[in-house]
Amino acid sequence: MQSRGVPDTDETAVAEPSPELERYLPVLDSTLEYARTREYSGPDYGDGMSSQLLQALPVENRFVNLVVQEVVKRAPVDVRPLFRVEHRRNYKGAALFTMANLNYHELARRAATAEGDGTDRGRADVDLESLDLAIDEPAFDPVEEARYLADWLLEERIEGYSGFCGGHRHEIQHLHTKGEPSDPDIVSTTYAVRALLQASHLDDRYAEIARTAADFLVEDLNYREVDEGAKVDYHLNHPDDAYTINAAALGAGMLVDLYDHFGDEEYRERATKVLDHIAANQTDVGGWPYRLPADASHLSMDSHHNGFVIESFQRYRDLVGSDRYADTLSDALEFYRNDLFELDGAPNFDETSAYPRDIHASTQGILVFTREGDLEMAERILRWVLANLQVEDGRFYYRKYRFHTKRVTLMRWCQAWMSYATSEYLLAATDADAATGGPSSPHSL
């Protein structure tokens, strides 16, 4: 293909378009289109309490809440239309879509560079309408989409706490308490901070407001030092007799991101102490249970939560520039690859169960192996998703069970994670192509 925007004046200077871009950029484009045309709103995991039928009941009962919530979540078919569940934009999903749109813009720039003579390398203002990409000409501006979503993250942040924070947009009924949309948590906040930092070149406010999330973590989420390092709570209503490992790891990862952006040593020191505690509680097989003690949750060493922990250690290694957790990461990655994924890229649910095979486990695997430089494995997982959970171009299903597939498209769980993971893989693949002078492969990494 020949770029219409940059004439081909010297054939020896023209780079071949990345085969990964030609193969998977249309996937990213159609995935973002599905979300964009729906205003990034849709069904969500754990949204049963937003049933209009439930809200219309004259009285509220937590057991009725639990029944409706769990039926909506666990029914083998999508019963949300039956219960008239409201569609809302998920906070973490908006953050993922922000980063995916920014990544898409960078990939479009790289596609333009590959198809031209290289003179536009480094530009951040490529006119996408003028590019002859491997996809139809985009009818949208990904940078403006990212700006719109980042502004929304600021507008919808939860006020009244020590710093920037966000949370789920649906009520969630627990056995003894009920989570409200006004209750912030470290997981939602972490991804919003990451998105705002990535978008900070668009508006100086983004990074400065995101920076205050460190105060939320320390002051409101009970950062406290313990014998093996430090702990931090998942959210404000977390039970005192359990500790959620992956949430703490993500909080440490957020501090690492802030350290990378601002250079404040306090962020690095606090992140190190939280990760020290998590490393000290790694099991002999290399993974982590969802909570400590392990019997405090029905979840065992499930795939996507272990992926969160591993990625947090990877971010520390890459952004801090330290091998402090090299052994921890080595053992964790061996467990992750051998016990939580099949050779064909299919994700196992946990260390003992293959099913259900969850799209979130797949996307987190793409992110982990991409960051590790194992693009062969990342692509293998991506191809498995496209073959098994894609219902049409750019639309994905939630889970594949042994004898049926849960045919519901969750906007955050499916679409946001797929767009973000695919975009991160494509950025790494094009980096590898540029470094080796040819398509990425296990032999060229």
74-103 pLDDT per residue, tens: 999 999 999 999 999 999 999 999 999 999
- Quickly state the pLDDT bin for 6 (edges 50, 70, 90): very low
Instruction: State the pLDDT confidence band at 197, using cuts at 50, 70 and 90.
Output: very high
Residue whose pair of structure tokens reads 């990494």 in the numeric block = 445
* Residues in Cβ contact with 109 at an 8 Å cutoff, skipping those fewer than 6 apart: 120, 123, 124, 126
Q: How many CB atoms lie under 10 A from the CB of residue 352?
A: 9
Lowest model confidence (mean pLDDT) among 119-133, 188-202, 317-331: 119-133
Residue 228 lies in a domain: yes
pLDDT level of residue 62 (50, 70, 90 thresholds): very high
Q: Evaluate whether 244 touches 288 at the Cβ level (below 8 Å).
A: no
261, 200 Cβ separation under 8 angstroms:
yes
pLDDT for the residue 175: 81
- Domains held by the chain: number: 3
What's the rounded mean pLDDT across residues 232-253? 94
> Would the pTM count as exceeding 0.85?
yes
Question: Three-class SS of residue 221?
Answer: coil
Range of the domain at 378: 345-445
Last residue of a domain, one of 310, 325, 340: 340
Per-residue pLDDT, 435: 79
- In a shared domain, residues 335 and 362: no
Phi then psi dihedrals of residue 224, to 5 deg:
-145, 145
128: which 2 tokens?
A: 């996408």
Identify the pLDDT of residue 120.
43
**Looking at 35-126, which runs of residues are DSSP E strands?**
none
Mean per-residue pLDDT, 97-117: 85
What whole-number distance in Å separates Cα of residue 4 and Cα of residue 29?
20
Same domain, 276 and 308: yes
Task: Report the pLDDT averaged over residues 127-156.
Answer: 76
Instruction: Let me know if residue 16 belongs to a domain.
Output: no
Secondary element (H or E) of residue 291: strand 291-292
Domain boundary among 56, 87, 118: 87
Query: With bands split at pLDDT 50, 70 and 90, how would you rate the model's confidence at 4?
Result: very low
Q: Output 221 or 128, whichever has higher pLDDT.
A: 221
Range 362-373 average pLDDT: 98
Do residue 299 and residue 391 come from a single domain?
Answer: no
* CA-based nearest residue to 61, from 173, 197, 209: 173
Taking 90 as the threshold, does the pLDDT of residue 349 lie above it? Answer: yes
Q: What percent of the chain has pLDDT over 70?
A: 88
For the segment 163-188, the average pLDDT, to the nearest whole number, is 91
Looking at residue 438, what is its pLDDT?
60
On the CB side of 256, how many CA atoms lie within 13 Å of its CA?
24
pLDDT confidence band for 176 (50 / 70 / 90): confident
pLDDT in tens, 26-35: 999 999 999 9
Of 297, 314, 340, the residue at which a domain comes to its end is 340
Considering the domain architecture, whether residues 299 and 382 belong to the same structural domain is answered as no
